[in-house]
Amino acid sequence: MQWTDRRPDGMGALGAPRWTVKAGPTSTARLTAGGAGRKLAGMTDNEITGGCLCRAVRYRAPGEPLWVAHCHCESCRRSSGAPFVTWAGFPKDAVSWQGEPPRRFASSPGITRSFCPTCGTPLTYEGARWPDELHLLVATFDDPEAVTPARHVYWREHLEWIEPGDALPRHEGSALED
Ligand SMILES: [Zn+2]
Ligand SMILES: [Zn+2]
Q: Which residues of 141-165 are buried (b: 16+ CB within 10 A; e: fewer)?
A: bbeeebbebebbbbbebbeeeeeee
Q: What is the pLDDT of residue 28?
A: 37
Q: What is the pLDDT of residue 178?
A: 57
Q: Which of 1-15, 73-87, 118-132, 160-174 has the lowest mean pLDDT?
A: 1-15
Q: What is the pLDDT of residue 27?
A: 39
Ligand nearest 53 Cα, by number?
1
CA of residue 135 relative to chain centroid, distance = 4
Ligand nearest 154 Cα, by number?
2
Best-predicted range by mean pLDDT among 35-39, 45-49, 124-128? 124-128
- How close is the Cα of 95 to the center of ligand 2, in Å? 20
Q: Which of 26-40, 120-134, 154-168 has the lowest mean pLDDT?
A: 26-40
Q: Identify the structural domains of the chain with CATH numbers, from first to last.
A: 64-178 (3.90.1590.10)
Angle at 165 between CA 161 and CA 171, to 5 degrees: 75
44: confidence class by pLDDT, cuts 50, 70, 90: low
- How close is the Cα of 16 to the center of ligand 1, in Å? 19
Are residues 56 and 102 in contact, defined by beta-carbon separation less than 8 angstroms?
no
- How close is the Cα of 5 to the center of ligand 2, in Å? 10
Ligand nearest 73 Cα, by number?
2
pLDDT digits (tens, 9 = 90+) for 65-90: 999 999 999 999 999 999 999 999 99
Q: Which residues of 125-136 are buried (b: 16+ CB within 10 A; e: fewer)?
A: bbbeeeeebbbb
Is the torsion defined by CA of 103, 126, 142, 78 positive or negative? negative
Q: Is the pLDDT of residue 117 over 90?
A: yes
- How close is the Cα of 161 to the center of ligand 1, in Å? 30
Ligand nearest 114 Cα, by number?
1
Residues 6+ apart with CB under 8 A from 60: 27, 47, 48, 49, 95, 96, 98
Q: Which residue has the higher pLDDT, 158 or 1?
A: 158
Q: What is the pLDDT of residue 156?
A: 97
Q: Is the pLDDT of residue 23 over 60?
A: no
Q: Is the pLDDT of residue 132 over 80?
A: yes
Q: What is the pLDDT of residue 19?
A: 46
Q: Which residues pair with 59 in a beta bridge?
A: 50, 97
45: confidence class by pLDDT, cuts 50, 70, 90: low
